[in-house]
Structure formats: structure tokens, C-alpha cells
Amino acid sequence: MPLFKFKTKRISTYLTAGLLTAALAPFAQAQTPEEKGLEIAKTRKATDRGWNNSEQDMKMILRNAQGNESVREMRSRALEITNDGDKGLTIFDKPRDVKGTAFLSFSHTLEPDDQWLYLPALKRVKRISSRNKSGPFMGSEFAYEDMSSFEVEKYDYKFLRDEACPVQPELTCYVVESNPKDKFSGYSKTIVWIDHKEYRMFKAEYYDKKKDLLKTLESSEYKLYLDKYWRAHKLSMVNHQTGKSTVLLTDNIRFNTGLTDKDFDKNTLKRIR
Amino acid sequence: MKLSFINAVLSRPIITILCCILIVAGLGYGTSYLTFRGDYKVFFGDNNPQLQGFEEMQKTFNKNDNVSIVIAPKNENVFTNETFELIFKITEDSWQTPYSTRVDSITNYQHTSAEEDDLLVEDILLDPADLSPAKLEYAKSVVLNEPMLVNRLIAPQGHVAMINITVQLPEKDKNQEVLDVVKHVRDMVDKYKAEYPDTDFHLAGIVMMNNGFIEEAQSDAQTLIPGMFLAIFIMLLLMLRSFTGMFATIIVIITSIVATLGGAGLAGFYISTPTVNVPVMVMTLAVADCVHIIASMHYYLRKGLSKNAAITEAVNTNITPVFITSATTAIGFLTFNFSDVPPLRDLGNMVAWGVMLAFVLAITLLPALLKLLPARAIKQTDNSNFMERFAEVVIEKRTPILIGSTLLIVAVIALVPQNKVNDVPIEYFDESITFRQDSDFMDQHLMGVSTIDIEISSGEENGINKPKFIKQLDDFSLWLREQDRIDHVFTLSDTFKRLNKSMHGDDQAYYRLPEDNELAAQYLLMYEMSLPYGLDLNNQLNIDKSAVRLTLAMDNVGSDEILAMEQKVLGWFKDNAPELTVRGASPALMFGHIGDRNMSSMLIGTTVATILISGLLIVALRSLKLGTISLLPNLLPAGLGFGFWALYSGNINLGLSVVTSMSLGIVVDDTVHFLAKYKLAREAGKTAEDAVRYAFSRVGRALWITTLVLATGFMVLAQSAFALNGNMGLLTAVIIVLALIVDFLFLPAFLILTDKKQYPVKESAHAAIQVQN
């Protein structure tokens, strides 16, 4: 599953962006917040193109309001798909009783995502209803929809303002509101902070259906890969309503490991190690 | 010294009044610091082990404060298009409730089914447009066969359904949060009431209970305090028949209340449902002080004294007894500090402070006001003769009176053990209150509101997926369901069975526990990944899956049965699964435990009150013998009162636990007055008979008046629909009346028949009697 791919536009992208900005300058006045929000989303997606495939190790640390902790470990693989959403595969290592369980997802830009789960104890692959993406992932504060690949078409956007970035206040961030188009989303809206230069998401606020702040995500420890792609190594999600939180640590990120479409096939999930 | 103080007060009445007003106004400023706390948790100290256990469990799993919307269509069938659609709409709308994190109903129940080889997890009704007769029939068959739902979200006969809204209150402004939730839910329900006139709606749950505490406190404040003013007005009209006296008394009462509450505010007290009636109690006790002084003033005016002299003499003769009665009352209230319930401690401290304030104002502000206001001698209706005739009857029939009353006392007191400690929060609300009716309705048709959350911990990470643990959980759940009074058991073992079935093509033969650790874990993972926002298992599982929370709902039973159930549960685990760690928690358990524990501590408190007050009496009467004798008329009324209570109700709640201490401090006044006069007469050389005559003639009328005032005040309190306050008021009023009966019948008979020894005659006593006559 591709988790949070934010990467920089290097020289060519800067040039393109510069030219675009120059060309669009005369029309800047006419741009509505919705148009600007969409533009930011498109650029964000565009800056994260061309990575092909990647693998990474992940560790989730769950905390409840009482201060107890619990750890989940997994590996994830991602395949970039042009003209549709990306494909992702997550293999659970810990807890031991779910070791080998594999979660396969095909993001789509327009239709609901496809999700399957391979259960080694049952030796079966089961489809998960596409509507259900808003519940907790592995009991954590992350929902599937927080972790699935970012696709421009899934939301409506509205640019709100510019302000200093969270985590790194020396940078300036676009603050953009996105409203999910899917009625089965668990959220009424999300507000994201994306820095001007590299289009990295530093923070996201998730609002529940009654429009109250539900969770806040902070991304940090960004590293640059292949001189082009920024990846956050630490994601902290805090649930303001229950006092629970989850930290998601990513490690050992590798690109172009030779993954192909065949590695993301529900019929071969049984052989996944 | 007394006289110089009185002269100082009276010689410059304006200054006295200004000083009083200034001090009262200064204290009164403190009322702006008073806040109100209506939540049920005020009844538990921060160190209360049950509260701590409950809070820990709430933090480990999620909080489960809730509002239950119970829906009862008049045609007694939930499975009609109209009602099913109504439940769907309310379920959807309920997500808009402030602080809501979860909404459960039969329409959004996450039903699992096999679809070809896949597991389908989805709402029973996703879209009302899908509602065909076949779909409705299917929904009915699923819902009425699901142990998670039957008796909880749907009645087994299908005539009543419930929508449960779980809220996570941030607890920053507890009252406002509760009020916000309740307002939203009520508005929503009102909207649907108009739309669906053939359906009844009822609101229950913890949030509604908290709201009940707030509303009953408001209702008490709005009805009892004005009611008390009215009662005082009528009493003063009857007893004093003087506008001046009435006016002065009311000023003293108002200033006492303002100063009491202001001082409480400055000292950092908050108001809660029990303490909202502090003004009523302080008013009651302040009136008694004033009435004594004003009645004496009229007495001396009639005797022909000048106004100034009459006031001086009235204050002079009353200052000591009024001080002693105020002090004993305050001591009684101060022993509330032995209670384990913070608002009862507050009640005791605030009233004790108020009583002493009222005393000070009654000997300063009151005489100063009387001095400034016009006063004339009021013609007395002659019932002092009545007291004297009454004394003759008692003296003449002393033996039958003593024997008869002793037998009666023994018989009534023998009933006391029939009472049992019972603290069920629902029962604090009178049946006239909608919240109580709604809760009773829910209890009758679905499940009771007395729940116990049980945390069962395997002691190891992911231990809840182990077949042995699941089996133990299932055995326990099945055992629970066989117990009496259990309405519903919400348990993860049902989920495991259902998942196993759905994972095997909905084959009923697989409706059993998964037998393999990995299988169970992976079923659960699969299920969790399939659940939508707000309907997850985090309210049943802790994060490392080492423990589950099971919830059992009982009929609305007494707290002893709830405590017994907790013990039975712990006993089951001790016998059948000793390796598991188990603990129970819930508001119902918290109230059950506090009721018991508080009763034990208040028994100590009452003992201390008895010792202190008796000690004070021995000092005040300067007689060990009379002080010891006074124990009888002081303690008997409470014994009689609780005997009466066994017949009247038999349930002792937190409010009643303090009644003995409180009434002891109050009824002791009668004894003090009576015995003081009795002793004076004896020391003047009179016989016991004559001394009783003398006591009756001197204080009989005053005791009538005090009893009338106090009993009326506490009867006003008894009108509260909130049982902690109402029962406390009623029983106290009963005890006050019983105390007068004991003092007028049993005590004189007892004195005449037992106190035969000659007293050493004192010249001063002789002189005092002559002067007063």
C-alpha cells in the first residue's frame, strides 16, 4: 500500500511551475479558492509521479487514553498506476496471530477502491466491502482512507490561506480544505497543510460528520529519495475525542525493487511472504 | 458582658445594621464564584476506588456515556416501513449529536453475511429506498435472532426499539456539555414526534440521568426556595402577628442566605443537587432563632417593659440557649464530614456555617431592626394555659404514659433493621419525573438501566484470541444469561460465533467458537477492517487485545442486588477461570458501593455527633446526670423515625445516611430547653412534678413553635422530587415531630418516675424562678 508519497519537483518541475505561474499570473485574480485548491492538489499529485514501485517496513505504536501501548508491525509494497489509483499490498508481521495476513487494495480515481484480505489461517482471500474504509485500521487511529494513495479526483478542494507550516515553521504552507465526494467517507472534511516548495503534507485535520475536529495528523522526519521523492518517516495521529493516538513509523524505504502487476494479484496472495 | 454587648448593638442600631449589611455584602460577593455541578460524579470523591476503576476502564476502552432513544410505535410493531424508516432517519440524524462518537440501532447494525466466498459486513438498512417487504422480513429475522440486539436495541416481541448514542464528553464544562447533548436530542425527537404522531418516544441513559440531576436541582431551587418563603410568611403571620417581626425575620433570613452562599463561594464550594437546598435549611434554622427572640420581646412588652428594655431582655434571655442550639445543630451538620460523599460533606459544612451566621445575625441585625421598627405589645392568645393543663395530664398519667410509650418505642425501633441501604440513582428520581418514567419504560420493554461493565483481562497481548479465553468468555456469558434479573449480555463471544458462521457460508452449524488462535485473530482482524467509522470494536477491546469489556444489563434492581451480582461474577471467575483478571465498573456499581461505605462512615459520624452533643449538654446543663438522661430523648426520635421509615419505604439512600446526625443536632434543642428549666426548678427546691409543670409552662409554647417551624421547613424540603433531598426532608421532619412527642410525654414521665433524689437547693435558682414568674 503506498503510504504518503510526497516528493519534490526537482529542476524540471520548478521550471514548469515557474512557467505556469508566470503564464497564469494575469488570471490569478480570477482564480476562485476552489480552483486554487484543485490546482494545489493536482500539483501535489503531479510532483509524486514516476516512482514506479516501492517497499517499506512499518511499525504502528498505538496508545490509549490510559497510556497503555501496543505495537503492530507490517511491510508494505506499492505500485504506481498511471490513469488510475495506485495498488498497495500490506503484509502483517505482528501481532504473531495475524502474521502472514495480507491486505491488497486497488485505489481508483472514480469508483470505490477494491480491497481484499488474505487470511492464512483460513487459506482464503476475502473481499472487503468497498464502503467500509472509514473504520480503524488494525485497531489504530488510522482509517484505511487516511492511508490509501492520494487521488485528486476523490475530493473537492478549497484553498483557505497561506501560513507557516506546522512542524517546520520556517516554511510556508498552503492550507487547503478537501471534501470527500464519497458518502461513505468517515469525514465531513479534511484540512491539510502543504508546503509551497515541495508539496509535502505536514499536517491534516480530520473532521467528523457533525463537523467537529476528530483527529490531527502530523507528518515529520521527511527524507528525500531518488533526489526527487519526499517520504515522511513519522506520522502521528491523535484522536481528540477519545484521547487515543497512533504513531506510524516507516523505515527501510526502497524504490524500484522490481515489483510488477503480478505481485498485486488477489489470486497469488496465498503465496505472498 | 452579655448585656454590654446587647447595649452596644442597640444603642447605635443604624451602625449595627450598616456593619451587618457591609459584612453580608462583602461575603455576598462570593456568590459570583459559586458554580453548579450537576453530573453524577460529584457524589464520588477523586480517590473513590470505584470511580477510579470506572475512569480507568473508560480510558482503556472508550467512554460509554449515552443517550438512549426508545421508540414505541402505537401499533406495537417496529417492522413496518414507517417505523423502520423512522429508526433509519433518527440513526442518521443522531450522528449530529454533539460529542457523539457512536450510534447503534437495528438499522445500522453491522450485519455479517456470506456472499459467495466473501464476507459482507454492512448495515441492515443502507438506504430506505431499498425497503421492500422482503427486505423488511429479512431484517426482522436477522435482528430478532441476534443476541447482541435482542433486549437491547430491539424488544424480543418486536414492539419497541432503541437507538443508542454514545458520547465522549470532553468534561471541560460538564453541565453545558450535558445540556447541549440533551437539547440536540430533544429537538430532534420533537421533530420526529410531530412527523410520527403514532409513535411514542422515551429518552434514557447516563446523559439523561446527569441532565435529570441538573433539572431537579433547578426545579428544587425554583420551587422549594419560594415555597419556603411562603411557608415562613404564613408561619410568622400565625405566630408573631406582627408586621415588624415578620419584616425583621425575613431580612435576617435573606442576609443569612446571602452570607452563607457567598462565604461558600469564597471558600471554593460548588453547588450540586444535594446542596442546592442549603438555603431552605438555613432559612428553617434561622427562622427558629428569630421567632424565639421576637416572641420573648412580645412577652416582655406585654409585661409592660419599654421597647428597648423588652428587646434587651429578649436577647439577654435567649442568647445562651440560641447559641447552644445553634452550636449543637452546627455540630450535627459538621459530622457530615465523615461522609464519603463530597456533596453531603459540603451540605454539612455550608449549613453549619449558615446556622452560625444566622445566630450572629439574630443577635445583632435582628435586635437592631426591631429597635428601629415600630413595635407594640401583641395580645396573646392564651395557650400557655393549655401547656399547663397538658402538664397536669402527663403528671397524672405518668405511669401508663411511660409504660405505653416505652412499649411503643421498643416496637417501632425493632423495625429499624428492616431498612436496607439502597442507592440506585434512577430511584433518586420520583415517578412523577419524565426521566424516571422513560427509564422504567425502557426497563420494562428492553433492558434495565443498571449496567455493569466487566473487564476481563487475559494478562497477555492478543490473549483474547486464544481459544481457551474465548471459551471462558463464552461460558461466562452463557452463565450470566441464566442468572435472574439479567436482561442483556453484550459479549464478544457472540461476535466470534457469528463471524465463524459467516466465514463458512452462513452455515448455522458453524455458529460456534473458532477453535484456532490464528483463525480467531484473523476473523477479528477481517471484521475490524470491515467496520465503518464509529462502529468499531474499540469499545469492547483494548488496544493490545489483552482484555475485553463485556456489559451486562440488569433489571432496575436495588443496589444490594447489583453488589451481589458483582460478587457472583467475581466468584464465577475464581471458580472457573482463576487465571483471568476481572473487574467490574459502572455508575450503578459506584452508587451501590458508596451507599454501603458511606453508611459505615456516617455511623461513626453519628456516634461522634452523639458524644460531642451529649458532652456539650452536660456542660450546658452543668449536670452529668441530666446530660446522660438527655441521651434518651435525643436519640429515641431518630430510632423511631427510622422505624417509621421501615414501614414507609425501607430504602435508605445517601440522603438518609446523614439524617441521624442532622436531626440529633436539631432535636437536642427541645431537650436542652426543657431540661434547663426543669433543673432550675429542681434547684429551687421544687419536686420533679413541679419542675415538670414549671418546664412546661416556661418552654412548652416555645417548643411547639420551634417544632412547627422546623417541621414545616423540612416538609418543604420533602416536596423535592429528588429523593436524596425529599427523603432527607421528610424523615427529618418526622423525627422533629417525634422528638417533641418524646419530650412532652416520655421525658416528663421518665423524670418524675426516676429522678426522685433531692437536688441541692441554690439560692440563685430560686431567685431566677421568682423573677421570671
Contact A72, A97 (CB under 8 A): no
Q: Do A242 and B518 touch (CB under 8 A)?
A: no
Of the candidates B98, B522, B531, which has its C-beta nearest A122's C-beta? Answer: B522
Grid coordinates of A119: 487470511
Nearest CA in chain B to A245: B543
Taking chain B (773 residues) in runs of 10, the rounded mean pLDDT of each run is 80 91 93 89 91 92 92 95 94 95 93 81 83 89 93 94 95 91 97 95 95 92 91 84 88 95 94 92 90 86 89 89 90 94 95 96 94 76 73 90 93 93 90 94 91 94 94 96 93 94 89 92 91 89 93 89 94 95 93 91 91 87 87 92 94 92 89 88 90 89 86 93 93 95 93 85 76 50
Q: Is the pLDDT of residue A12 over 60?
A: no
Cell 484540512 found at: A191
Enumerate the residues of chain A whose CB falls inside 8 A of the CB of residue B533.
134-135, 143, 186, 208
Exposure string over B53-64, b if 16+ CB within 10 A, otherwise e? bbbebbbbbbbb
Q: Do B96 and A209 touch (CB under 8 A)?
A: yes
Q: How many CA atoms lie within 13 A of B569 on its CB side?
A: 29
Mind telling me how many Å the CA of B620 is from chain A's nearest CA? 56
Rounded Cα distance between B235 and B246, Å, is 9
Nearest CA in chain B to A240: B170
Mind telling me how many Å the CA of B58 is from chain A's nearest CA? 9
Q: Of B264, B255, B257, B225, whose CA–CA distance to B345 is shortest?
A: B264
- Biggest distance spanned by C-alpha atoms of chain A: 62
Enumerate the residues of chain B whose CB falls inside 8 A of the CB of residue A101.
522, 525
State the virtual CA torsion across B33, B36, B41, B45 in degrees, nearest 10: 30
Note the pLDDT of residue A28. Answer: 52
Mind telling me how many Å the CA of A224 is from chain B's nearest CA? 32
Number of domains in chain A: 1
Note the pLDDT of residue B381. Answer: 59
Residues 6+ apart with CB under 8 A from A84: A106, A107, A108, A109
pLDDT band at A2 (very low <50, low <70, confident <90, very high): very low
Q: Do B542 and A64 touch (CB under 8 A)?
A: yes
In a domain, A3, yes or no: no
Of the candidates B59, B521, B533, which has its C-beta nearest A243's C-beta? Answer: B59
Q: Do B537 and A139 touch (CB under 8 A)?
A: yes
Q: Per DSSP, what are the bridge partners of residue A88?
A: A78, A105
Of the candidates A70, A124, A128, which has its C-beta nearest B461's C-beta? Answer: A70
Q: Do A208 and B533 touch (CB under 8 A)?
A: yes
Domain that holds residue A16: 11-271
> What values do phi and psi take at B271, rounded to 5?
-100, 140
Q: Of A60, A25, A6, whose CA–CA distance to A199 is shortest?
A: A6
Q: Do A241 and B99 touch (CB under 8 A)?
A: yes
Contact B221, B359 (CB under 8 A): no
Mind telling me how many Å the CA of A175 is from chain B's nearest CA? 25
In a domain, A254, yes or no: yes
Nearest CA in chain A to B546: A70
Of the candidates B96, B519, B528, which has its C-beta nearest A121's C-beta? Answer: B519
Q: Do B59 and A66 touch (CB under 8 A)?
A: yes
Of the candidates A95, A97, A132, which has its C-beta nearest B531's C-beta? Answer: A132
> Which residue segments constitute the domains of chain B, with CATH numbers given?
1-33+240-381 (1.20.1640.10), 61-211 (3.30.70), 384-414+593-773 (1.20.1640.10), 444-591 (no CATH)
Of the candidates B119, B532, B543, which has its C-beta nearest A139's C-beta? Answer: B543
Q: Do B462 and A97 touch (CB under 8 A)?
A: yes
Grid coordinates of A193: 497543510
Enumerate the residues of chain A whose CB falls inside 8 A of the CB of residue B545.
70, 95, 139
Mind telling me how many Å the CA of A214 is from chain B's nearest CA? 9
> What values do phi and psi take at B327, rounded to 5?
-65, -45
Q: Of B131, B133, B130, B108, whose CA–CA distance to B121 is shortest?
A: B108
Residues 6+ apart with CB under 8 A from B294: B240, B242, B245, B248, B249, B314, B366, B370
Of the candidates A68, A98, A117, which has its C-beta nearest B543's C-beta? Answer: A68
DSSP class of B149: T
In a domain, A211, yes or no: yes
Q: Do A134 and B529 touch (CB under 8 A)?
A: no
Mind telling me how many Å the CA of B586 is from chain A's nearest CA? 17
Of the candidates A135, A139, A144, which has its C-beta nearest B541's C-beta? Answer: A139
CA B604 to chain centre: 20
Q: Do B97 and A68 touch (CB under 8 A)?
A: no
Mind telling me how many Å the CA of A61 is from chain B's nearest CA? 10
Determine contact: B461 vs chain A, CB below 8 A: yes
Of the candidates A68, A95, A132, which has its C-beta nearest B530's C-beta? Answer: A132
Note the pLDDT of residue B379. Answer: 65
Residue pLDDT, tens place only, A166-209? 988 999 999 999 999 988 889 999 999 999 999 999 999 999 99
Determine contact: B502 vs chain A, CB below 8 A: no
Judged on CB neighbours under 10 Å (0-12, 13-18, 19+), B560 is: middle
CA B414 to chain centre: 26
Determine contact: B538 vs chain A, CB below 8 A: yes
Note the pLDDT of residue B62. Answer: 85
Measured CA distances, B317 to B4, B616, B764 (Å): 14, 19, 15
In a domain, A4, yes or no: no
Q: E strands along B422-504, which residues?
A: 450-457, 486-490
Characterize the bridge pairing of strands B118-123 and B65-73: unpaired
Nearest CA in chain B to A99: B518
Mind telling me how many Å the CA of B419 is from chain A's nearest CA? 40
Note the pLDDT of residue B449. Answer: 85
Give CA angle at B496 (B119, A273), nearest 5°: 60
Determine contact: B543 vs chain A, CB below 8 A: yes
Q: Do B533 and A135 touch (CB under 8 A)?
A: yes
In a domain, A230, yes or no: yes
Note the pLDDT of residue A266. Answer: 85
Name the percent of chain A lying above pLDDT 90. Answer: 58
Report DSSP letters for chain A, one per residue: ----B-----HHHHHHHHHHHHHHGGGGGG--HHHHHHHHHHHHHHTT----EEEEEEEEEEE-TT--EEEEEEEEEEE--TTS--EEEEEEEESGGGTT-EEEEE--SSSPPEEEEEETTTTEEEEE-TT--SSBGGGSS-BHHHHSPP-GGGEEEEEEEEEEPSS-TTSEEEEEEEEES-TTSS-SEEEEEEETTT--EEEEEEE-TTS-EEEEEEEEEEEEETTTEEEEEEEEEEETTT--EEEEEEEEEEE-----GGGG-GGGGGG--
Of the candidates A96, A122, A138, which has its C-beta nearest B519's C-beta? Answer: A122
Determine contact: B523 vs chain A, CB below 8 A: yes
Q: Of B164, B171, B168, whose CA–CA distance to B39 is shortest?
A: B171
Chain A with chain B: Cβ pairs closer than 8 A: 143
Contact A217, A237 (CB under 8 A): yes
**Using CB atoms and an 8 Å cut-off, which of residues 628-687 of chain B contact chain A?**
none
Mind telling me how many Å the CA of A52 is from chain B's nearest CA? 27
Mind telling me how many Å the CA of A128 is from chain B's nearest CA? 6
In a domain, A198, yes or no: yes
Determine contact: B127 vs chain A, CB below 8 A: no
Note the pLDDT of residue A78. Answer: 93
Residue pLDDT, tens place only, A207-241? 999 999 999 999 999 999 998 899 999 999 999 99
Q: Do A96 and B462 touch (CB under 8 A)?
A: yes
Residues 6+ apart with CB under 8 A from A215: A141, A205, A206, A237, A238, A239, A240
Nearest CA in chain B to A97: B518
Q: Per DSSP, what are the bridge partners of residue B456?
A: B548, B582
In a domain, A5, yes or no: no
Query: What mean pLDDT is predicted for residues A44-49?
Result: 89
In a domain, A210, yes or no: yes
CATH for A172: 2.50.20.10
Q: Do A121 and B521 touch (CB under 8 A)?
A: yes
Measured CA distances, A254 to A72, A85, B32 (Å): 21, 20, 64
Determine contact: B383 vs chain A, CB below 8 A: no
Of the candidates B462, B523, B533, which has its C-beta nearest A95's C-beta? Answer: B462
Measured CA distances, B156 to B73, B138, B183, B452, B511 (Å): 15, 16, 30, 22, 20
Note the pLDDT of residue A14. Answer: 53
Contact B613, B665 (CB under 8 A): yes
Would you report the helix, strand and coil content of chain B in percent, each value rounded to 5? 65, 10, 25
Of the candidates A66, A115, A128, which has its C-beta nearest B60's C-beta? Answer: A66
Exposure string over A96-130, b if 16+ CB within 10 A, otherwise e? ebbbbbbbbbbbbeeeebbbbbbbbbbebbbbbbe
Q: Do B543 and A101 touch (CB under 8 A)?
A: no
pLDDT band at A4 (very low <50, low <70, confident <90, very high): very low
pLDDT band at A109 (very low <50, low <70, confident <90, very high): confident
